[in-house]
Structure 1
Amino acid sequence: MTGTPRELVERVLRAGRERDVETFVALMAPDGYLEWPYRPPGVPARVQGRPAIREHLARVADAAIRVDEHRHVVLHETTDPHVVIVEYDAHGTVVPTGAPFQQTVIAVFRVRDGQILSCRDYVNPLPLIEALAGTARAGA
C-alpha cells in the first residue's frame, strides 16, 4: 500500500474503528508492532508481527468495547518524516452493558517503506478499567 505517512495513519485509524482486521494488518509492516505503555491488567505491553496482531485484533474486535467514532482528531506531522502523532477521543459502547464509552488517545506512529512499523498507543487506562469493572458487575 502506498501513501504518505499521514495517509497511512488515517487508513489504519479507519480500519481499527471499522473493526477491519485484514486491512489493519495489511497496513502494518511484517515485523510491525503495537504497544501500550499505560494499560490495565490483562492488556499486553506489545504485540509484534502480522500473525500476532491479526490474532489480537480478532480477539478484541467485538469484545468488551466497541469504538464507533473518533472525535477531535488532530494529526501532527513531525520533523521526522516517518513519525506521525495523533490525538483523538474514541467514543463507543461497552458491549456487555450498552453503556457509553469514551477514551482519550495519543498515539505515536512510525512508518517505514509505506507501512506502519509501530504504533505506541498512550491511552488513559482508567476509562477502560472502569468499563471492564462495570462489565464484571453486570455479569455477577
Structure 2
Amino acid sequence: MVSSTPEEIFRRMIDLMLAKDMNAVADMWAPDGIAEFPFAAGSSPRVLHGREEVRAYLAHYPELMDMKDMAALTVRPTDRTDTAVVEWTATGRTVATSRPYRLDYIVVLTVRDGLIALYRDYWSPLSVAAAAGGLAGLIDSLERENA
C-alpha cells in the first residue's frame, strides 16, 4: 500500500464516515491496529484490538449518530512523521432523538504502511450521552461502577 501521512489518512477516514461506509473505515486499520478511548465510560469499550474489533464497533454507528460535517480540523505534526495530533469537531444529529450535536475530539493518530496502527481518541462520553439523550443512563452506570 502507498504510504500516506497521518493527515491524509485522517481526512480519508472522515470522508468515509460522512459517506456512512463503516466497512471502508475499518479497512483503514492495520490488522493488528489498536483503537483506544481513554475517556470511555459506561458500556463503551476502552480498547479495541485489531481491524475486526474496530469493524464490529463501527457497524452500528450510522444508526446512532448521523454525522453531517467536520466543522473544524487542526492537524498538529509531531517529531515522528508517522504520528499527528488531530483536533476536530463533528456536527450532525443523533438518530434516536433527532437532536443536533457538535462534538469535539482530540485524536493521536499513528500510521504504518498507509494503515492506522494506533488511534487514541479523547472524546467526552458526557457530551455524547447528552447528545444522544442517554445522559441519565451514563450517570447511573458510572454511579454503579463507583459504588
Normalization by structure 2: what TM-score? 0.83
Q: Structure 2: any 5+ residue segments left out of the alignment? A: 138-147
1:27-69 residue CA offsets vs partner (Å, 9 max, x unmatched): 1100012111112311100112111111111122322x22111
For 2:98 and 2:54, the matched residues in 1 are separated by 27
Match of 1:56 in 2: 57
For 1:68 and 1:5, the matched residues in 2 are separated by 22
For 1:15 and 1:100, the matched residues in 2 are separated by 20
For 1:84 and 1:15, the matched residues in 2 are separated by 19
The change in CA–CA distance for 1:40 and 1:129 in structure 2 (over 3 A counts) is farther
Stretches (4+) displaced over 3 A: 132-137
Match of 2:86 in 1: 86
CA contact (8 A) 1:9 1:84 kept: no
For 1:83 and 1:13, the matched residues in 2 are separated by 17
Q: Structure 1: any 5+ residue segments left out of the alignment? A: none
Match of 1:43 in 2: 44
For 1:103 and 1:123, the matched residues in 2 are separated by 8
Percent sequence identity over matched residues?
Answer: 30
Q: Deviation of residue 96 (structure 1)?
A: 1.3
Match of 1:28 in 2: 29
1:119 partnered with 2:114: no
User: What's the RMSD between the two structures over aligned residues?
Assistant: 2.0
